[in-house]
Chain A
Amino acid sequence: MAGPIFEVENLRAHYLTRFGQKIQAVDGVSFSLKPGEILGIAGESGSGKTTLVSACMGLYIPPLHLSSGDVRIEGRSIIGMDIETNRRDILGKKISMIPQGALNSLNPTRKVKDLSTDMILSHDESAEKKQIYSRLRERFEKLGMPADEVLNAYPVQLPAGMKQRVVIGISTLLDPRVVIADEPTSALDVSTQKAVIRLLFELMDQGIIGSMLFITHELPLLRHVSNNIAVMYAGEFVELGNIQQIIFDPRQPYTKALMGSMLSAGQKPVAIEGAPPNLANPIEGCRFAERCPIARPDCRTTRQAIRIVENRQVRCQYAE
């Protein structure tokens, strides 16, 4: 097997507010994706999932700034590239994103085909307009959508599930190696959700996309979608392992609490007491210490490092 196609090494990113406050939203995240792998990232709202997405794509638009770390796609670093080059050569071609509010990310005043044509032209100026349409048709048909009907429609004429599929279709037009799906199903009902996941799998099986980063707070969904799961809390990965380990045998206290708050048959969901820490204030010790049931005094003073416990990464000194 080839090496990883996507590597993130000790990535740290922060927001700088108008008042000079520094908010470390992503702090020391490392992972890598092999071809064909799907990594799920789970976490509460405000845990830095979406910031991690921008950081992984090399899109540092103020107030977001890179603190340190490296992101490599197929061995090539995309950090330090100027934003125009990044937009033209990397985004869409190498790495692409399926946005969170996909239902609102299509321009309502333009037909789907015009929008998709723009997408191709902005990356490949030599493309012929006529060929583009047939290329679009071919792709949309391959993905099981009524191509002519969809391409000639305005976004408002499409139902929610179809819109989401169109967004996925457009963002994978240029066969990106890595796709980041940022809560692609959170605004959809359960049946549409299933159709969207099926479409993503099809894209992978047909080799249109290489590997995927799937971000959501729905753990039951992740169990069916990804190979590995990383749990994020306050800007850090607190546990990373395969599905079996994370869902059925969590070790880190936060992962345990997160699993407990899930609704499943015959089990009462238990909410996690308290709120995530404010990242504007620097935290010395473990970030979960305030809410942790097994916290000891030294948890609040020493920063937790990643340990390997039974083939998985755990950020807790007392987890076993």
Chain B
Amino acid sequence: MPSEPKFEAQHLSRSYGHGNRRFFAVKNLNFTIPNKDVVSVVGQSGCGKTVLAKLLLRLETPTSGCLLFDGKPIAQERDPRNHWRSVQAVFQDPFSAFNQFFTIRAQLKSSFKLFRQKPSREEMDARVDAALLAVNIEPREIEGKYPFELSGGQMQRMLLARIFILRPEVLIADEPTSMVDACSRASILEYLLKLKKELDMTIVFVTHDIGLACYISNSIFIMHQGEIVEQGPPELVTGSPTSEVTKQLLADIPDVHREWLRREASK
């Protein structure tokens, strides 16, 4: 690997409950995420993908093991905002990510609070405008608008605009395209790749669609019941899968060019 790892996990676990009912959402993970890589985490619902994303974001604390960010344990500092300055997220449901009672512009502007030094009002406006243009939305289109007045695809782009404002080192994208339709999905992916190109960031992409993961990333983790069962570059994972879980996932994506599910009777 060319550069030092951004994230490094050693025996990382997160469990809920205790005694007999103890449940491991993430179990004994060992992995490294190299700097400036695009890594996809793929798995079925309930396999621990989102918990892993939250651990990386410091929204959850590990129950055992440790998670290093830039060589330092994540939970060491008292103020999590330090971590959030360099690690930011795009979530699955853009409507629950924004507050319904404030205008979009106000919320985009409030993300400047994270900075140690807040820029002047004019500069904030200018930077919000620039970020909106970067995701192909005319700033006056959203002037005075509230989140519910926009479509799902537009709202997802607002989340991405926020990333353009904050310019973090790492972006954690938790199923950013699963709530939007096929056409908006193409544009969201386009902007994600543009972000990667412009800000030169590390991206952790969480999804259940292995096809999507192959398209976007240069390394894939396959998760199953809290454990990483397979990892490697996409060609290797999809070309010669070794684990049953990967084979199953590959067989389950509907593809235009391949027979997927055959109907025995009647047809």
Q: A218 contacts the other chain (Cβ, under 8 Å)? A: yes
Stretch at the interface among B54-62, B82-90, B159-167, B180-188: B180-188
Q: Which residues of chain A are near B232, meaning CB under 8 Å?
A: none
Q: Which residue in B151, B190, B254, B264 is a CB contact (below 8 Å) of A218? A: B254
Q: Are B215 and A263 interface neighbours, CB within 8 A?
A: yes
> Contacts A45-B152, A261-B183, A262-B182; is A191 near B265 (CB within 8 Å)?
no
Min C-beta distance of A110 to chain B, whole Å: 24
- Which chain A residue lies CB-closest to B181? A217
**Complex interface residues of chain A between 224 and 260 (CB less than 8 A to chain B):** 224, 247, 257-258
Q: Which residues of chain A are near B263, meaning CB under 8 Å?
A: 201, 205
Q: Are A219 and B182 interface neighbours, CB within 8 A?
A: yes
Q: Are A223 and B254 interface neighbours, CB within 8 A?
A: yes
Q: Which residues of chain B are near A257, meaning CB under 8 Å?
A: 183
Q: Which residue in B255, B259, B266 is a CB contact (below 8 Å) of A265? A: B255
Q: Which residues of chain B are near A193, meaning CB under 8 Å?
A: 252, 254
Q: A293 contacts the other chain (Cβ, under 8 Å)? A: no
Q: Are B182 and A258 interface neighbours, CB within 8 A?
A: yes
Q: B168 contacts the other chain (Cβ, under 8 Å)? A: no
- Which chain B residue lies CB-closest to A274? B136
Q: Are A219 and B256 interface neighbours, CB within 8 A?
A: yes
Q: How far is the CA of A283 from the CA of B254 in the complex (A)?
A: 36
Q: Which residue in A45, A220, A247, A262 is a CB contact (below 8 Å) of B153? A: A45
Q: Which residues of chain A are near B111, meaning CB under 8 Å?
A: none
Q: Are A270 and B260 interface neighbours, CB within 8 A?
A: no
Q: Are B46 and A159 interface neighbours, CB within 8 A?
A: yes
Q: Which residues of chain B are near A272, meaning CB under 8 Å?
A: 183, 186
A-B contact count (CB 8 A): 103
Q: Are B186 and A269 interface neighbours, CB within 8 A?
A: yes
Q: Are A220 and B255 interface neighbours, CB within 8 A?
A: yes
Q: B126 contacts the other chain (Cβ, under 8 Å)? A: no
Q: A192 contacts the other chain (Cβ, under 8 Å)? A: yes
Q: Are B254 and A271 interface neighbours, CB within 8 A?
A: no
Q: Are A204 and B183 interface neighbours, CB within 8 A?
A: no
Q: Which residues of chain B are near A205, meaning CB under 8 Å?
A: 263-266
Q: Are B186 and A220 interface neighbours, CB within 8 A?
A: no
> Contacts A188-B45, A217-B181; is A263 near B211 (CB within 8 Å)?
yes
> Contacts A201-B263, A269-B186; is A190 near B257 (CB within 8 Å)?
no
Q: A189 contacts the other chain (Cβ, under 8 Å)? A: yes
Task: Bits for A282-317, please: 1 = Cβ < 8 Å to B, else 0.
Answer: 000000000000000000000000000000000000
Q: Are B211 and A224 interface neighbours, CB within 8 A?
A: no
**Complex interface residues of chain A between 153 and 193 (CB less than 8 A to chain B):** 159-160, 188-193
Q: Are A269 and B256 interface neighbours, CB within 8 A?
A: no
> Contacts A218-B182, A223-B256; is A45 near B151 (CB within 8 Å)?
yes
Best-buried of B183, B253, B255, B259 by chain A (most CB within 10 Å): B183
Grouping DSSP codes into helix (H, G, I), strand (E, B) and loop, the B interface class, with mixed when no group exceeds half, is loop
Q: Which residue in B153, B252, B257, B265 is a CB contact (below 8 Å) of A264? A: B257
Q: Are A271 and B183 interface neighbours, CB within 8 A?
A: yes
Q: A198 contacts the other chain (Cβ, under 8 Å)? A: yes
Q: Are A271 and B211 interface neighbours, CB within 8 A?
A: no
Q: Which residue in A191, A218, A258, A270 is a CB contact (below 8 Å) of B44? A: A191
**Complex interface residues of chain B between 145 and 172 (CB less than 8 A to chain A):** 151-153
Q: Which residues of chain B are near A271, meaning CB under 8 Å?
A: 183-184, 186-187, 190
Q: A46 contacts the other chain (Cβ, under 8 Å)? A: yes
Min C-beta distance of A248 to chain B, whole Å: 8
Q: A197 contacts the other chain (Cβ, under 8 Å)? A: yes
Q: How far is the CA of A82 from the CA of B245 in the complex (A)?
A: 52
Min C-beta distance of A177 to chain B, whole Å: 16
Q: Are B249 and A220 interface neighbours, CB within 8 A?
A: no
Q: How far is the CA of A220 from the CA of B258 in the complex (A)?
A: 10
Q: Which residues of chain A are near B27, meaning CB under 8 Å?
A: none
Q: How far is the CA of A271 from the CA of B189 in the complex (A)?
A: 9
Q: Are A261 and B182 interface neighbours, CB within 8 A?
A: yes
Q: Are A197 and B186 interface neighbours, CB within 8 A?
A: no
> Contacts A201-B263, A224-B260, A263-B211; is A190 near B186 (CB within 8 Å)?
no
Q: Which residues of chain A are near B211, meaning CB under 8 Å?
A: 263-265
Min C-beta distance of B24 to chain A, whole Å: 17
Min C-beta distance of B160 to chain A, whole Å: 13
Q: Which residues of B contact A (CB under 8 A)?
A: 44-46, 151-153, 180-187, 189-190, 208-212, 215, 248-249, 252-257, 259-261, 263-266
Known contacts A247-B256, A265-B257; 14 additional CB pairs below 8 A are: A44-B183, A45-B153, A188-B45, A189-B208, A192-B44, A192-B45, A194-B261, A261-B183, A261-B185, A263-B185, A263-B212, A269-B186, A270-B186, A272-B186
Question: What are 9 A-B pairs at a CB distance below 8 A?
Answer: A36-B266, A192-B44, A217-B182, A262-B256, A263-B212, A264-B211, A264-B255, A271-B187, A272-B186
Q: Which residues of A contact B (CB under 8 A)?
A: 36, 44-46, 159-160, 188-194, 197-198, 201, 204-205, 217-221, 223-224, 247, 257-258, 261-265, 269-272, 275
